[in-house]
Amino acid sequence: MSLVGNSSRPVRVGIVLVSQRVDRHRVMELRGLVESLGCTPVFVLVQRRRGVDPRYVLGRGKAEELAKLVEEEKVELVVFGNSLSPSQVFNLAGVTGVEVIDRTQLILRLFAERAETRVAKLQVEYAQLRYMLPHAREMVRLAKREERPGFKGLGRYEVDKYVHDIHRRMVFVRRKIEKERKTRGSRRGRHREKGYDLVAVAGYTNSGKTTLLNTLTSSNKPVDNAMFTTLRPTTRRLEIGKRKILLTDTVGFIDELPPVIIEAFHSTLEELAIADLILLMIDVSEPIHEIRRKLRVSHKILGDTGAVGVPIITVFNKTDLVDSNHVDAVVEGVRDLAPNPTPISAKTGYNLEELRKTILSLLPQQTSLITLPANHRETLAILSQIYDEMEIEEACYTPEKINLLVKGCPTRVNRVEKMVAKLNS
């Protein structure tokens, strides 16, 4: 549906959540997703119950209460925080008279709205198709019974043809995505050969990832106080000491990131798995219990994407919003979940020098003893390269040879070792 109503105004949305235990953060997250889509949440209806009703998710009485709220508040869209089956969507649309979607569909719409590049659009389409596939037969059956909001245009498909068309399109889209993934992989390989370190910025949406990228690399990527403003990895160059780094901003995390999103955006999230180092961003201004929850979710998502064993710096951002006592309490209270904790403010620049030092200390290092003939015509060029690219731990000069204990990027050290071996042979 359109993001604006008939009078060029935001769509009015009702939010519904059914759960035995309703957490405030789940409601706030749903509101944030709705607002990020440019819509206006006008009510939140919560029902605490042990299980869900097979027909309406809500109990029948609560469903009728929902219908009354929709009419009174002139709501055009109802969003459920629960997963909905096609039959539940069909039944709820019949009761309320408006379109009904679940949380996964809401996130998919938000991703579709944010997708700007060809690859991001393909990834969103694949996720949408992947979401539809398990429900396709039921959706067609319901659409043939009676057209309802949310099932427009499906009645013309025969069931088998509809499922076949989804499969065929998924294969086509997947091939396009895989082609782009291989292109990015080849590009990363060339960067590694040139001696670049790969550092990924990860964390919850709205934690300040893009602001940090801009501040560290003096870039001007647009920053928006909304969810999922970054769908395509954005990479910028950064130098710390003698290390050349490619810093990549990745898609933001949320609770229970839908599996269809993880699958579709695997090539994007892959940036985390292949990184030399991950900067895990956390909004330090939030309560400790909320930060602990987000850290647990973040580590789970990192594990799901294959980023197991990649060193992590836990970056506690937005220190400018709280006092130092709060920051100290947070760092101490989540230490078991926060490797290499580093409080900063990406906005003001506070403590960024300490962050740079921590990054430098955790990048892959290789130490080597290099021996150069003192009087060879190529020695000076190699020596200049060593001083430009590596840290000199020890140096000993004699009339016949030069002994250097060097430390630096493994790729660059290995390259110099090969040059020296060729020279000495």
- Condensed to tens digits (0 to 9), the pLDDT of residues 19-67 reads 878 778 888 889 989 998 889 999 999 998 888 889 999 988 999 999 9
* The CATH number fitting domain 195-362, selected from 3.40.50.300, 3.40.50.720, 3.20.20.10, 3.50.50.60: 3.40.50.300
Residue 6 — very low, low, confident or very high, per pLDDT cuts 50/70/90? very low
Please report the sign of the dihedral spanned by the C-alpha atoms of residue 108, residue 110, residue 111, residue 115: positive
Question: Residue 1: its pLDDT value, please?
Answer: 43
pLDDT at position 327 over 80: yes
Question: Residue 201: its pLDDT value, please?
Answer: 96
68, 21, 25, 73: which is closest to 46 by C-alpha? 21
Provide mean pLDDT across the span 185-210: 90
Percentage of the chain with pLDDT > 70? 90
Least confident of 123-137, 190-204, 222-236: 222-236
Question: Residue 119: its pLDDT value, please?
Answer: 86
Provide mean pLDDT across the span 110-129: 87
pLDDT at position 405 over 60: yes
Domain ranges, ordered by start, for the chain: 12-114, 118-176, 195-362, 366-424
Provide mean pLDDT across the span 379-395: 94
Question: Phi and psi for 222 in degrees, rounded to 5?
Answer: -55, 135
Q: Tell me how many degrees the CA angle 281-283-285 measures, rounded to the nearest 5.
A: 155
pLDDT in tens, 345-386: 999 999 999 999 999 999 999 999 999 998 888 999 999 999
What is the model's pTM?
A: 0.82
Whether 195-362 and 12-114 are alike in CATH topology: the answer is yes
Kindly report the CATH number that applies to the domain delimited by 366-424.
3.30.1370
Provide mean pLDDT across the span 122-132: 90
Cβ atoms < 10 Å from Cβ of 389:
18
pLDDT at position 414 over 80: yes
As a whole number, the mean pLDDT across the chain is 87
φ/ψ bin of 30: left (φ > 0), alpha (ψ from -120 to 50), beta (otherwise): alpha
> Long-range contacts for 185-194 (Cβ within 8 Å, ≥24 apart)?
188/274, 191/246, 192/411, 193/411, 194/244, 194/411
Return the CATH superfamily for domain 12-114: GTPase HflX, N-terminal domain (3.40.50.11060)
Question: Residue 116: its pLDDT value, please?
Answer: 79
Residue 269 — very low, low, confident or very high, per pLDDT cuts 50/70/90? confident
Percentage of the chain with pLDDT > 90? 58
Least confident of 171-185, 205-219, 251-265, 276-290: 251-265
99-102: strand order across its sheet? 40-48, 12-19, 77-80, 99-102
